[in-house]
Structure 1
Amino acid sequence: MSADKKRQVAVVGGGWAGCAAAVALLDAGCDVTLFEAARTLGGRARAIETNGRLLDNGQHIMLGAYTDTLRLMRRVGVDPKRALLRLPLQMRYPAGDEGMDFVAPRLPAPLHMLVALLRARGLDRADKLALARFKTTARWMGWQLHNDCTVAELLVRYDQTERLNRLMWRPLCLAALNTPPERASAQVFLAVLRDSLGAKRAASDMLIPRVLLDALFPQAARRYLESRGAVVHTGRRIDALSPDGGTWIVRAGADTHTFDAVVLAAPPWQAAALLRSLDGTAGIVSRLDALDYEPIATVYLQYAAGVCLPLPFCALADAPRDNRWGQFVFDRGQLDPGQDGLLAVVISSADPAGDIGQEALAASVAAQLAAAFAQPALASPQWTRVITEKRATFACTPALDRPANTTGLAGLALAGDYTACDYPATLEAAVRSGVAAAAVITGSKR
């Protein structure tokens, strides 16, 4: 290849990892072609149309520590200050639903956590001492374990109280890892806590999207790419990849394309299907095949205009045995005036909830909200919609062998939230993976 010829790179998959890889490759001077099988970009973090409007297929809470995501949002023209509601680190329950209230004030770290602990309501002295002991010990250990274990085992080891486990650690584990504490990786959980409870105040802030997830990054990434000469194909499924000397053949139906390199940013089950026939990929394919998945259900409930909650989002005390499934509720009207009266309730690791049927689940969640907020009218929404992403994330279990961005094949890199890093399947993990895959292709350092 001549020195003045740009490297031709294909990105297969237009989720957050693929979009991040495409932007990073373009910025590194490559000619980029992005292929996405769906009609829109965004992957498993996207909007869908229902009841004549667009709704996200799930709610996300980001952290101020999501530096790569925030950087790329700015790079493609999204202003995080407008697109995201920034709140201090918190775990707040309705007064009629356990009543715990934990909020980190806007003070320098670690003072913000000390004051939050002293001011916390709904925790007694034993709970506060247990939380302080956990944070102190974890920080002393550098938020690292010699041998991974489950979150449940870690909590026993740190002598955490039953109330703290139920109102703090379990919901945080479900929200961050989408895996129950009894099966979730303690090491990955500690990495999340390092960047929340153990971080500087601004890094620990919670960032809640005000806009649809499509508008938060993928749509802007597409405009950025196309305005700079990249090609974006939606509705174009890639059927096969094959090396050809020093290039790669990418086949989509009857069409074939030749590229110098490929970033494979498809979901793990699709990536495995494309890699299976290639020599030297057996180890990667076995890791991909070994992944299990966890669902997330989001229950949308539309009420009359003006109906709102005391806060933009609240934790909920779930108790599946008592038909209380919701774990967090978001008041979409406080985030976007165009969604006045719309509440979104999230159920992570949602397999049991799905067994009762969508209509029964929505009715149960509405009754749960009415009781938690002492607002009987919340039991009777105008309409409901349950959106379940069955393979929302991989099951983040202890010592999980996640594949690297490198594949061992020249000119081929993997990108996705499932690749090896210290984060669970989050938007930040996806973006970091996309940037890392681009660096593999260009030979640059992260």
Structure 2
Amino acid sequence: MANDGVDKRGDARTEPGLTSRSVAVVGGGWAGCAAAVELARAGYKVTLFEAARTLGGRARRVDTDRAHLDNGQHILLGAYSETLRLMKLTGVDRDQTLLSLPLQMRYPPGSGGMDFVAPRLPAPLHLALALLRAKGLRRDDKLSLARFSTTARWMGWRLHTDCSVSELLQRFDQTPRLIQLMWRPLCLAALNTPPERASAQIFLNVLRDSLGARRSASDMLLPRADLSALLPEAAGAFVEAHGGSVRGGAKVQAIRPIENRLWQLEVSGAAVGGQWSTYFSGVVLATGASQAATLLHDMPGADTSALCRQLTAFEPEAITTCYLQYDRATRLGLPFYALLDDPHNYQWGQFVFDRGQLDEAQAGLLAVVVSASGEAAGQSQDLLAEAVAVQLAAVFQRPELGRPEWFKVITEKRATYACTPGLVRPGNASGLAGLAIAGDYTAGDYPATLESAVRSGVAAAAGVLRRTTI
């Protein structure tokens, strides 16, 4: 087996040319893939380690007994500049892999919701016209939304002191109906945290870069390809094309600093022949927060206790996706709709995606998303799927939706963290020369989104580049 760093049988001190350009990225999620691409682009020999067989982490393809599915549904925004940049860099065709829709919040006709669609006009005219044309909102609701947008812009989308989204909406005199139909679903979709516990400042950051920016920034981008193909697999191919390697099924068990500013990694898994020890000049630690804390805990010659406390303080939030397969001719009026959820009456669904309108191979497949889904995930999968199917049949007034041919429920228990007011998130710098941290949980303007993961990976790569010898 060829080495990516220096084999444990060799003397690392005799291989400065090799190790000075050799960097390990631990974790093949979106943050790790972003870091790997940036390092490979800079001329480094990158080894990307991923414990699973499929790249993508908490946003990846899942091979089930029924079909190839994703472990969640994501809506990207036109504001996701770093994600879109890396997709282009790695050869991913945006038009082929993403369906671009104008900003919208649309409920099934007759469901008691609203119909809000922004036309493709320059900002902020697109929002003004969308508000004027919106159906299902009363005059006081529209005035409430206009007041929120105007005041937030005047404030520069900044708060002196963070508070909950619910408190922010109360301060801005938002109507109960607007909260129910617009702000609550947006908060759940963006932060995966209920408004009463979600950070108002982070919510405003998302609105600033979408509603408060150019019109194209607010476009909603729905993946046509599976999540692993959307960026992670292209990133892996990019790394290999630049002389690096991707080690799937390889779990990093330990990371140790050694002399000459090198790092020793202990790796296990069939991909490395069981056990493997190798050396690198730099490391990007791009696992989940709890796994990062485990690897950093009691690291020889380093005091990482404060960092580990930060990494273990995150409260996980789950996301559940219920896939329902119908006859291939089954189709909704739009690629996706918002739904009025009511957990007290077992109506769990918050958004439904018609996968067949995104990928013809998935015709007849509907994906229903439940964000912050701890309570829903506590239900048996059979009962949850049945409740979701009944909900769809009722809101669309189509009895056949209550009888899917098959279903699959996928719950990502640690999909994100609770994005609460004043949450202190660690930076990319670990305090150790040559080792940086990457993940959607590091400090930044955004909550745990694909874009925040990518931005973190790019920043971590830049940190390693500054601290290693080229």
Q: TM-score, normalized by length of structure 1?
A: 0.98
Residues 296-335 of structure 1 mapped to structure 2, 5 A cutoff: 296-335=319-358
Deviation at 1:241, TM superposition (A): 0.7
Q: Which residue of 2 aligns with 1:248?
A: 263
1:100-154 alpha-carbon deviations (Å, 9 max, x no partner): 0000000000100000000000000110011011111111111111110000110
One-letter amino acid of the counterpart of residue 283, structure 2? V
Aligned-partner residue type, residue 360 of structure 1 = L
**Offset at 1:222?**
1.2
Match of residue 198 from structure 1: 212
8 A contact 2:429–2:460 mirrored in 1: yes
Q: Mark the CA change 1:296 to 1:72 in structure 2 (over 3 Å): closer, same or farther.
A: same
Counterpart code for 1:347: V
Distance 2:447 2:27 in 1: 20
Q: Hey, what does 2:288 align to over in structure 1?
A: 267
How far did 1:96 drift? 2.4
Match of 1:145 among 141, 159, 166: 159
CA apart distance, 1:50 = 2.0
Aligned equivalents of 2:91 and 2:141: distance in 1?
A: 44
Give the Å deviation of 1:54. Answer: 0.3
Q: Secondary structure at the match of 1:242?
A: strand
Partner residue of 1:352? 375
Question: Quick check: 1:180 aligned with 2:194?
Answer: yes
- 1:17-416 map, 5 Å: 17-245=31-259, 246-253=261-268, 254-278=275-299, 279-416=302-439
Instruction: Describe the superposition over 1:66-119 as per-residue Cα deviations: whole angstroms up to 9, x where unpaired.
Output: 000001001111011110000000000001221300000000001000000000
| CA distance in structure 1 between the partners assigned to 2:374 and 2:19 by the alignment | 51
SS of the residue corresponding to residue 252 of structure 2 reads coil
1:427 aligned partner, one-letter code: L
Q: Is the 8 A contact 1:96 1:371 kept in 2?
A: no
Distance 1:2 1:56 in 2: 42
Question: C-alpha displacement at 1:350, in angstroms?
Answer: 0.4
User: Is the CA contact 1:6–1:29 (under 8 Å) kept in the aligned structure 2?
Assistant: no
* Whole-angstrom CA distance in 2 between matches of 1:54 and 1:316: 25
**Which 4+ stretches in 1 moved above 4 angstroms?**
1-6
Counterpart CA distance in 2 for 1:305 and 1:354 is 28
**Shift, 1:355, TM fit:** 2.2
Compute the displacement of 1:6 (Å).
Answer: 5.0
Q: Is the 8 A contact 1:186 1:398 kept in 2?
A: yes
What is the alpha-carbon distance in structure 2 between the residues aligned to residue 83 and residue 419 of structure 1? 28
Whole-Å separation in 1 of the counterparts to 2:249 and 2:333: 42
Matching of residue 438 in structure 1 with residue 461 in structure 2? yes
Please report how far the alpha carbon of residue 5 of structure 1 lies from its aligned counterpart in structure 2 after TM superposition: 7.8
CA distance in 1, matches of 2:394, 2:19: 65
Taking the aligned partners of 1:76 and 1:255, their CA distance within structure 2 comes to 30
Deviation of 1:4 (Å): 9.9
CA contact (8 A) 1:280 1:409 kept: no
1:2 CA displacement: 7.1
Contact 2:20/2:281 (<8 A) preserved: no
Tell me, in whole angstroms, the C-alpha distance in 1 between the residues paired with 2:263 and 2:19. Answer: 17
- CA shift in 2, pair 1:261/1:122, >3 Å: same
Q: Tell me the SS of whatever aligns to 2:68.
A: strand
CA contact under 8 A between 2:113 and 2:181: conserved in structure 1? no
Matched letter for residue 48 of structure 1: V
- Aligned partners of 1:343 and 1:288: how far apart in 2? 36
**Residues 369 and 119 (structure 1 numbering): CA distance in 2 closer, same or farther, change over 3 Å?**
same
Q: Which amino acid aligns with 1:295?
A: A
| Counterpart Cα distance in 2 of 1:247 and 1:51 | 44
* Displacement after TM superposition at 1:52 (Å): 3.6
Report the number of matched residues.
Answer: 444
Deviations 1:296-323 (A, max 9, x none): 0000000001101010000000011111
Aligned residue type for 1:322: N
- Mapped contact 2:164–2:195 kept (Cα < 8 A): yes
Q: Distance in 1 between matches of 2:382 and 2:207?
A: 36
- Three-state SS of the structure 2 residue aligned to 1:377 is helix
Per-residue CA deviation, residues 376-434 of structure 1 (Å, 9 max, x unaligned), is: 11011111111000010011011111000001110000000000001000000000000
How has the CA–CA distance of structure 1 residues 258 and 5 changed in structure 2, closer, same or farther, with 3 Å as cutoff? Answer: closer
Contact 1:33 1:232 in 2 (8 A): yes
Structure 1 residue 352, shift from structure 2 partner: 1.1
Aligned to 1:44, the other structure's residue is in SS state: coil
**What is the SS of the residue equivalent to 1:306?**
coil
Matched residues, percent identical? 62
Alignment partner of 2:429: what SS? coil
The gaps in structure 1 that reach 5 residues or longer are none
Q: Distance in 2 between matches of 1:342 and 1:356?
A: 22
Between 91-100 and 343-352, report the one with greater CA deviation: 91-100
Rounded to whole Å, the distance in 1 between the matches of 2:163 and 2:169 is 10
Are the equivalent residues in 1 in contact too, given 2:353–2:368 (CA < 8 A)?
Answer: yes
Q: Out of 132-141 and 48-57, give the one that drifted further.
A: 48-57
Residues 1:410 and 1:36: Cα distance change in structure 2 (over 3 Å): same
The amino acid that maps onto 2:291 is: Q
Shift in alpha-carbon separation, 1:85–1:431, aligned structure 2, 3 A: same
The Cα of 1:269 is off from its aligned counterpart by: 0.7
**How far, CA to CA, are the matches of 1:244 and 1:49 in structure 2?**
40
CA contact (8 A) 2:41 2:242 kept: no
**Structure 2 residue matching 1:326: 3-state secondary structure:** coil
* Structure-1 separation of matches of 2:448 and 2:111: 29
Determine the C-alpha separation between the residues in 2 that align with 1:140 and 1:266.
Answer: 39
